[in-house]
Amino acid sequence: MKLGVLTVLFGNRPLEETLEYVKAQGLDAVEIGCGGYPGKAHCDPDRLLQDEGALRAFRAAVDSRGLAISALSVHGNPLHPQAAERERYRREFRQAVTLASRLGVERVNTFSGCPGDHPGARWPNWVTCAWPPDYQEVLRYQWEEEAIPYWREEMAFCRQQGVRMIGLEMHPGFLVYNPETALRLREAVGPELGVNFDPSHLWWQGVEPVHAIRALGEAIFHVHAKDTALDPINFPVNGGLDTTPYGREAQRSWIFRSVGYGHDLSVWRDLVSALRLVGYDWVLSIEHEDSLMSGQEGFEKAVATLKEAVIREAPGAMWWA
């Protein structure tokens, strides 16, 4: 298993400086944002897809440092009810897939998207409960008329491009937010659709990541290493469905933390072992969204914790084999 980082964290540094720093920290891989919410700080698909020399230079900058590109990330809402937003995210997703094909990158990470509650809606509508019965009709519309048709078409495009690992991050606010919804969409559109497994979004929903890993199995294409701390006072009072702005940490039920600051080393070791058990042997990509410490400190502390947790090598032959 390898260690990497989503380089959005270092968006204020040039690509080559970022790669040097990542390599010096002993990491193996980089996950690079190329549109959507992650932005394009280190990767401009418009330029790279039109300029073969720039494309070769980009690939060489990574390869020459012995690093791998674990995935291209283009998280957005391709089901957004507003046409301009929807089309922007859809265009950027296809650009990312095309660029991954040109670069020989196997994985593209994104979100499933969330539509409105009817064709004329203006804003996304994330349904969080089964009753009143109106919500069942909203869900029927969102899945059957929006999500499944869109993703079936996109999977056909991805197959044409030779990119067969699209990792949806299970994130509340989007249709795919837990293992059940991820597997439902995968069954409907094909095995090229899997997950970018981020435990931080599961803990505050009350999902146990190790159990989720066992449920998802081979559908796990990529993994984010990010932690969540549940506030011992606010969480038992208000639960995990929290709309308090992120900047009001003391009032929130939970906050994102650097790896090891929400759950201890033993939890992360169990998580890594569960990933190994289902056959995952790719990258743990650090994502920093900890508002209580700087990006560099949070990143370096996450690296130190994960180096203790990660299983670098598969076992050799055992005496009973």
* pLDDT tens readout for residues 206-231: 999 999 999 999 999 999 999 999 99
Per-domain residue ranges for the chain? 2-309
| Of 217, 313, 315, the residue nearest 1 (C-alpha) | 313
The DSSP 8-state label assigned to residue 314 in this structure reads -
Query: What is the CATH architecture of 2-309?
Result: Alpha-Beta Barrel (3.20)
Q: Cβ neighbours of residue 87 under 8 Å, at least 6 residues apart?
A: none
Per-position DSSP letters for 113-127, written without gaps between them: ----SSTT-SS----
Contact 291, 262 (CB under 8 A): no
**φ and ψ at 2, to 5 degrees?**
-115, 160
pLDDT given for residue 312 in this prediction: 79
User: Quick check: helix, strand or coil at residue 240?
Assistant: coil
| Residue 126, burial from CB neighbour count under 10 angstroms (0-12, 13-18, 19+) | middle
| Of 245, 208, 248, the residue nearest 228 (C-alpha) | 208
Strand partners, 284: 3, 223
pLDDT given for residue 314 in this prediction: 73
**Digit-coded pLDDT (tens) for 227-284:** 999 999 999 999 999 999 999 999 999 999 999 999 999 999 999 999 999 999 999 9
Residue type, 121: A
pLDDT given for residue 313 in this prediction: 79
Q: Cβ neighbours of residue 146 under 8 Å, at least 6 residues apart?
A: 79, 113, 115
Q: Tell me the CA distances in angstroms from 28 to 1, 63, 166, 259, one per residue in order.
A: 10, 11, 21, 18
Which residues in the chain land under pLDDT 70? 317-321
Q: Cβ neighbours of residue 10 under 8 Å, at least 6 residues apart?
A: 17, 18, 21, 22, 41, 42, 295
Per-position DSSP letters for 166-201, written without gaps between them: EEEE--TTSS--SHHHHHHHHHHH-TTEEEEE-THH
pLDDT given for residue 321 in this prediction: 66
- Looking up tokens 């795919």, which residue turns up? 176
pLDDT given for residue 315 in this prediction: 74
